[in-house]
């Protein structure tokens, strides 16, 4: 790959330059440059602006040129909430749910999250690696350049460490950046279920054994808890996240998806990086989030896939001044999509976010939620040369033409990691 690359022919270059994080009206200002160009050197951006300006830069003369032919260029998507590593789909359960079976009935017949846990524990690391690598290629093909990924389908020491070690390996061996989160508190594992004090015993195991082990090996940056009805209580989440914090893991939390529990207030009190889901938050929660630096990460793929009418109140969160991000929540049970473009469509039509707001939520605010806004999330001099080029003339057409992959080219740190043209060549 050339060390210096000049991209020209951008009908719209959407830079997302501006204050970080984006709140309120600032979310609706994507900063679009027409007939734009970007110059990058050694994986970083060295000039951005009108083509005529950028071409005058000292490095431009010797650069390799790539004309994107009047297409739209955006910062690469930052998907700040995924469950990347899992052994198999749960398509049969999807069919049963459509036919009217409840989650409890499906769980009794051996389905649900515990079926994923059972299969992941048995799966050889190499199988999981192959599957995750195929998904990562698809993330790149849909314009995502950085993603967060959680453990949480192992729920015993060996399987949780297996997952996190795999994430570390994947981060090294392929071009997308992967940010690891320990989610030992995803659900109570089968061997602790149905016993008096079982959940408390598992929390004790996480706090005393697994969290220190994960931190010692530096296998994760964040610690997450599924704090909801039927999972972990606010008191248990507080204990787990405090233990994580003591070991250097930054808290984030699955909050108020199935029921209102008070998890959002806990996130605010703990200065968590993010509170995710938020379908059942109250006005008081919205005010508390707006006064905090906790990112409200909305996951509309879940409500869509489960066929639920209720989405998180994005408009109220934005009006109050909360930091709003969007993510796929890519997982086999409730949101099996890895397309941030589809998430933008859902955010616009179901949550009434404008295309500009949705874009800010999927790039710069998501980068803020991962503590990486100094490197990614916008197209600015000094940041990583992470871009996605879309085969459209206007960025609003990305959510508008829903259900189709418009990504034409993906560049990660100055390197082409996906090209539609190349993928059409015979193998």
Q: How far is the CB of 254 from Zn ion (least distance, A)?
A: 6
329 or 386, CB closer to Zn ion? 329
Q: How far is the CB of 81 from Zn ion (least distance, A)?
A: 6
Q: How far is the CB of 224 from Zn ion (least distance, A)?
A: 8
Which residues, at least 6 apart from 381, have a Cβ–Cβ distance to it below 8 Å? 45, 46, 47, 48
Q: How far is the CB of 259 from Zn ion (least distance, A)?
A: 16
Contact between 256 and Zn ion (CB under 5 A)?
no
250 or 417, CB closer to Zn ion? 250
Give the residue closest to Zn ion by C-beta.
329
Structure tokens at 248: 């250097």
| Dihedral (CA of 250, 233, 230, 303) sign | negative
Per DSSP, 249 falls in state P
Which residues, at least 6 apart from 93, have a Cβ–Cβ distance to it below 8 Å? 106, 111, 112, 115, 333
Q: Write phi, then psi, for 160 (nearest 5 degrees).
A: -70, -45
Structure tokens at 39: 């110059």
# binding residues, Zn ion (CB under 5 A): 1
177 or 329, CB closer to Zn ion? 329
How far apart, in Å, do the first and last CA atoms of the chain sit?
21
329 or 357, CB closer to Zn ion? 329
The contact mask relative to Zn ion for 329-348 (x = CB under 5 A, - = no) is: x-------------------
Per DSSP, 391 falls in state S
Q: How far is the CB of 219 from Zn ion (least distance, A)?
A: 19
User: Quick check: 246 and 278 in contact, CB under 8 A?
Assistant: no
Separation between Cα atoms, residue 122 and residue 125, nearest integer Å: 9
Contact between 79 and Zn ion (CB under 5 A)?
no
226 or 387, CB closer to Zn ion? 226
The contact mask relative to Zn ion for 49-78 (x = CB under 5 A, - = no) is: ------------------------------
Contact between 391 and Zn ion (CB under 5 A)?
no
How wide is the angle at C-alpha 394 spanned by C-alphas 391 and 177, nearest 5°?
Answer: 60
Chain residues 312-331 in contact with Zn ion, contact rule CB under 5 A = 329
279 or 329, CB closer to Zn ion? 329
234 or 275, CB closer to Zn ion? 275
Q: Write phi, then psi, for 398 (nearest 5 degrees).
A: -65, -55
Q: How far is the CB of 418 from Zn ion (least distance, A)?
A: 25
Q: How far is the CB of 151 from Zn ion (least distance, A)?
A: 12
97 or 150, CB closer to Zn ion? 150
- By DSSP bridging, strand 222-227 and strand 44-50 are unpaired
Separation between Cα atoms, residue 276 and residue 251, nearest integer Å: 12
Q: How far is the CB of 302 from Zn ion (least distance, A)?
A: 8
| Dihedral (CA of 92, 116, 114, 200) sign | negative
Q: Is 350 helix (H, G, I), strand (E, B) or coil?
A: helix
User: Quick check: 280 and 260 in contact, CB under 8 A?
Assistant: yes
Q: How far is the CB of 354 from Zn ion (least distance, A)?
A: 25
257 or 410, CB closer to Zn ion? 257
Contact between 279 and Zn ion (CB under 5 A)?
no
Residues of this chain that interact with Zn ion (CB under 5 A) are 329
């Amino acid at each position: 790959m050339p060390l210096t690359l000049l991209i020209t022919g951008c009908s719209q270059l959407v830079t997302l330059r501006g204050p970080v994080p984006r709140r309120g009206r600032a979310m609706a200002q994507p900063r679009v440059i027409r007939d734009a160009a970007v110059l990058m050197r050694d994986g970083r951006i060295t000039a951005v602006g009108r083509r005529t300006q950028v071409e005058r830069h000292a490095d431009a003369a010797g650069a390799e040129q790539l004309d994107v032919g009047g297409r739209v260029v955006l910062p690469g998507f930052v998907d700040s909430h995924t469950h990347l590593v899992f052994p198999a789909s749960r398509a049969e359960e999807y069919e049963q749910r459509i036919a009217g079976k409840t989650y409890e009935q499906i769980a009794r017949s051996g389905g649900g999250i515990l079926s994923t846990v059972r299969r992941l524990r048995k799966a050889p690391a190499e199988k999981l690696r192959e599957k995750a690598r195929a998904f990562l290629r698809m993330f790149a093909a849909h314009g995502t350049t950085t993603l967060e990924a959680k453990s949480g389908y192992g729920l015993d020491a060996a399987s949780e460490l297996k997952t996190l070690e795999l994430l570390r390996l994947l981060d090294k061996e392929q071009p997308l950046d992967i940010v690891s989160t320990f989610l030992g508190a995803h659900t109570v594992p089968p061997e602790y279920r149905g016993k008096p004090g079982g959940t408390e015993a598992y929390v004790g195991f996480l706090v005393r054994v697994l969290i220190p082990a994960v931190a010692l090996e530096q296998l994760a940056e964040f610690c997450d808890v599924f704090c909801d009805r039927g999972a972990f209580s606010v008191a248990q989440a507080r204990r787990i996240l405090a233990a994580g914090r003591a070991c250097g893991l930054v808290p984030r939390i699955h909050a108020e998806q199935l029921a209102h529990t008070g998890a959002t207030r806990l996130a605010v009190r703990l200065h968590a990086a993010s509170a995710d889901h938020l379908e059942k938050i109250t006005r008081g929660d919205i005010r508390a989030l707006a006064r905090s630096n906790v990112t409200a990460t909305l996951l509309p793929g879940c409500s869509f896939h489960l066929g639920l009418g209720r989405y998180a109140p994005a408009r109220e969160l934005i009006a109050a001044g909360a930091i709003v991000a969007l993510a796929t929540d890519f997982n086999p049970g409730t949101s099996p999509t890895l397309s941030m473009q589809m998430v933008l469509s859902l955010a616009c039509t179901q949550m009434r976010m404008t295309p500009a707001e949705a874009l800010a939520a999927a790039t710069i605010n998501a980068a803020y939620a991962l503590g990486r806004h100094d490197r990614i999330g916008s197209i600015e001099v000094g940041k990583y040369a992470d871009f996605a080029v879309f085969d459209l003339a206007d960025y609003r057409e990305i959510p508008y033409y829903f259900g189709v992959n418009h990504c034409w080219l993906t560049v990660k740190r100055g390197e082409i990691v996906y090209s539609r043209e190349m993928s059409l060549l015979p193998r």
